[in-house]
């Protein structure tokens, strides 16, 4: 290998480990732009809201009907856990006749982060099959079964 080739290859190999240090940004959910939100006015019908904003991420019928459009932007650097950069919930509240009564625009500062996916409910015991439970009960009659 000549000097020119090694002068080119060595810097490339030195920068290779740094390739994973760049930040990647991901957007999840239903992004509502300011232009879209400006088109939804108090008094708009449910159909007009769906035409402008699309289908909601979720709905609620507690204390009146509401549509919720939820979006989240995360940034991931290399192998580190993703950081939530932006979180937004646009709420459209309807009256009993199905017309927009009020709008809400909530950001990360308005609430706390709840990670529903990673939470797990602990159980009291192991998952035994029916036959195993019977045999364990027969082997230990003092359990009071």
Expressed as residue numbers, the domain containing 44 is 22-110
For residue 87, how far is the Cα from the chain centroid? 9
Using a cut of 0.85, tell me whether the model's pTM lies above it: no
Q: Mean pLDDT, to the nearest integer, of 37-66?
A: 89
Our count of domains for the chain comes to: 1
pLDDT, one tens digit per residue, over 75-94 is 888 777 888 888 888 899 99
Distance, in Å, from the CA atom of 63 to the CA atom of 44, rounded to the nearest integer, reads 19
Report angle CA 75, 33, 35 to the nearest 5 degrees.
155
Could you tell me if residue 7 is inside a domain?
no
Could you tell me if residue 81 is inside a domain?
yes
pLDDT at residue 108 greater than cutoff 80: no
The CATH number that applies at residue 40 is 3.30.1450
pLDDT, one tens digit per residue, over 1-27 is 566 666 667 666 655 555 556 778 888
pLDDT, one tens digit per residue, over 58-75 is 888 877 789 999 888 888
Distance, in Å, from the CA atom of 88 to the CA atom of 70, rounded to the nearest integer, reads 6
Encoded tokens for 119: 């939470």
From the list 64, 115, 110, the residue with the least C-alpha distance to 89 is 110
Could you tell me if residue 122 is inside a domain?
no
Could you tell me if residue 126 is inside a domain?
no
């Amino acid at each position: 290998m000549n000097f020119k080739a090694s002068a080119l290859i060595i810097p490339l190999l030195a920068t290779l480990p740094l390739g994973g240090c760049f930040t990647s940004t991901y957007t999840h959910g239903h992004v509502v732009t300011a232009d879209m939100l400006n088109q939804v006015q108090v008094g708009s019908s449910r159909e007009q809201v769906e035409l402008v904003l699309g289908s909601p991420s979720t709905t609620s019928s507690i204390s009146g009907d509401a549509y919720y459009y939820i979006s989240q932007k995360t940034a991931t650097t290399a192998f580190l856990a993703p950081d939530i950069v932006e979180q937004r919930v646009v709420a459209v509240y309807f009256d009993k006749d199905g017309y927009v009564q009020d709008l809400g625009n909530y950001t990360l500062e308005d609430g706390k982060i709840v990670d529903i996916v990673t939470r797990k409910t602990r159980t009291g015991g192991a998952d035994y099959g029916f036959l195993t439970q019977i045999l364990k009960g027969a082997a230990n009659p003092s359990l009071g079964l």
